[in-house]
Structure formats: structure tokens, C-alpha cells
Amino acid sequence: GESVGLHLPTLSVQEGDNSIINCAYSNSASDYFIWYKQESGKGPQFIIDIRSNMDKRQGQRVTVLLNKTVKHLSLQIAATQPGDSAVYFCAERRPGTYKYIFGTGTRLKVLA
């Protein structure tokens, strides 16, 4: 079936460096995308979102880029901190629905 980023890669980054987490989504008609952060023992926490009519959105220390041509989403974290260590999920929303499809996520490890 369709899926968003089935693989669960691990990204190790030195503290203070920038992190880039990538996600491939499957439905070219998806109109809204979200990045979530999940720490151990907690639920996914909203980080940033982007609509399909945008290609970039910035938040505090985070930037999301959307490339609809290749159905690719990325999350950039500036000056990565130990507290950023978590699993990061992207999610796409199917148009006309409230249904989101989540990937299996990427584990970010911040090295001191």
C-alpha cells in the first residue's frame, strides 16, 4: 500500500551541527504535511507544518522544505542540541480528508 518513508534510518549528528532529516511521500495529491518529534515514552509532538502551495517554511531553529516535483520533504534543524534526540516523523494528509499517513520515522542521535 501507499506509505510515507517506511524505513527507519538513524542519523547521528555532532552537537552544534545542523541536521537534515528526509522523507519521501507517496501521494502527489497530498495537500498538507507535518513534522512530528517523538521522545521515548511520549506521544508525537508537533514541530512544524507546511501546505502544498508552499515550498519552504521556517520556525524556531527548524525549516521544512517541500519539493513536490520529487515528492520529498525535509526537516532542517539548526545548531542541533542533545534535547533534539528523538524519532522524527513526517506525515501527509490525503486531500479532502482528515486522514494522515505517517512514516516509520528517522531516529536522530546527537553526539556530545
Say if residues 84 and 19 touch (Cβ distance below 8 Å): yes
Q: How far is the CB of 12 from other proteins (least distance, A)?
A: 20
* Residue 67 binding other proteins, by CB under 8 A: no
Say if residues 55 and 67 touch (Cβ distance below 8 Å): yes
For other proteins, which stretch binds (CB under 8 A), given 18-26, 61-69, 71-79, 93-101?
93-101
The single residue listed with the C-alpha cell 501521494 is: 27
* Residue 99 binding other proteins, by CB under 8 A: yes
* Residue 26 binding other proteins, by CB under 8 A: no
The single residue listed with the C-alpha cell 513526517 is: 90
